[in-house]
Chain A
Amino acid sequence: MLASLTAAQTSTGVTFEDELRGLTDAAIHGEWTRLMALREQAKQTLGAQQVTDALVVAAAFNGITRVADATGIPLDSHTAAATQQMREETGIQRFSYLEKSARYDL
């Protein structure tokens, strides 16, 4: 289930997950024309307020992920201990700063 956070097809069971994924992906990839169409579609199912609020969250995390990535902030210790297996299973571990350095530093 958690793998759906890093994969395109699997399901988490979150209500209106497909709509939320489509809106989020288009928003963060800057696909504005596609996003406009998805917004209109999603208004029919989610509703206009929910569509707006999903994009409100997406915009916030487009900023705060950059804060985390630019400051190299470590996981909170409790989270680090509790999510070790999950990070491996979902592929999130490959985003760790050490692994990024190994991949991208010359």
Chain B
Amino acid sequence: MMYPEHLLLSSDLRQAHLKSWQAIGQAGDFFTGAERVAMVETARAAVSCDLCQRRKEALSPYSISGHHDGPQTLPEEIVDLIHRIRSDPGRLTKTWFDNVTANHISTQQYVEIVSVVTTSVIIDTLHQTLGLELPELPEPSAGEPRGQFNASAVDIGGWVPVLDAPQDLAHHGLPHVPNIARSMGLVPSAVELFFTAFRPHYSLSDIHLSISQAQAEFVAARVSSINECFY
């Protein structure tokens, strides 16, 4: 059980977080369970990392080099990209991404890392905002990566190929499958992991929470602004 029973969280959310947390500990398509757990551990270290702090204070985060605090079990380039995604996502650039995927990891690996790290951000953030200790890291399972990806992913002008989906509009004015839901479509298991955790938190219409849709959109937009998110 991840959350005490007295908290006012839905059973859907509790089950989804538990499922996602356990899934992180299992082999994905490009990383082992142990490597995925190390990604979570590395992301947590980014929050208090001295190098990340100095980069945040710099005019450009790419002008400061050095070594990150925290675990170094993953390759240095992966540690660096996890720290950047966790600590300063609003200043990631296409040039940086191109360098990472041209010289260090495949785009498929990149997508899986984004999924694991951002899923853990949701779960850790909820724990912290409710005044809870962070959950213990998932138990890594044995098993090898499956290597499966979506060979039919398409280029729509983002940094990574995405899920091909029709763009007809739903009643809320966005496509039935908005671009954000397509963004990790190169690796279907990455989509599944992230949106399993995300889905009970929010919907574009008829939100199943005690706050109104307008209040939810206000909070969402405020987070987007703080994190300097264009989408």
Contacts and interface: CB of A to CB of B under 8 A. Distances in A.
Nearest to A94: B228
A55 B179 CA distance: 24
A39 B132 CA distance: 13
Nearest to B178: A76
B90 interface: yes
A35 to B, nearest CB: 6
A101 B95 contact: yes
Interface residues of B, number: 78
B7 A52 contact: yes
Nearest to A46: B211
Interface in B187-231: 194, 197-198, 201-202, 209-212, 214-216, 218-231
Contacts, number: 242
Nearest to B10: A56
A64 B97 contact: no
A75 B231 contact: yes
Interface in B153-206: 156-160, 162, 167, 169, 173-175, 178-180, 182-184, 194, 197-198, 201-202
A9 interface: no
| Residue among A59, A78, A101 having the largest count of chain B Cβ atoms under 10 Å | A59
A69 interface: yes
Secondary structure class of chain B's binding surface, majority of residues: helix
A53 interface: yes
B89 A65 contact: yes
B45 interface: no
A50 interface: yes
Contacts of A47: 210
B114 A67 contact: yes
Interface stretch (B32-40, B119-127, B139-147): B119-127
Residues of A in contact with B, size category:
35 or more
Given A59-B201, A63-B197, A73-B231, A52 B226 contact: no
Contacts of B7: 52
B160 A72 contact: yes
B2 interface: no
Contacts of B227: 28, 61-62, 65-66, 69
24 contacts: A5-B222, A14-B218, A15-B212, A15-B214, A20-B219, A21-B222, A28-B226, A30-B47, A39-B131, A52-B130, A61-B219, A61-B220, A62-B125, A63-B118, A65-B229, A67-B115, A69-B89, A70-B89, A71-B159, A73-B162, A74-B231, A78-B174, A79-B174, A105-B95
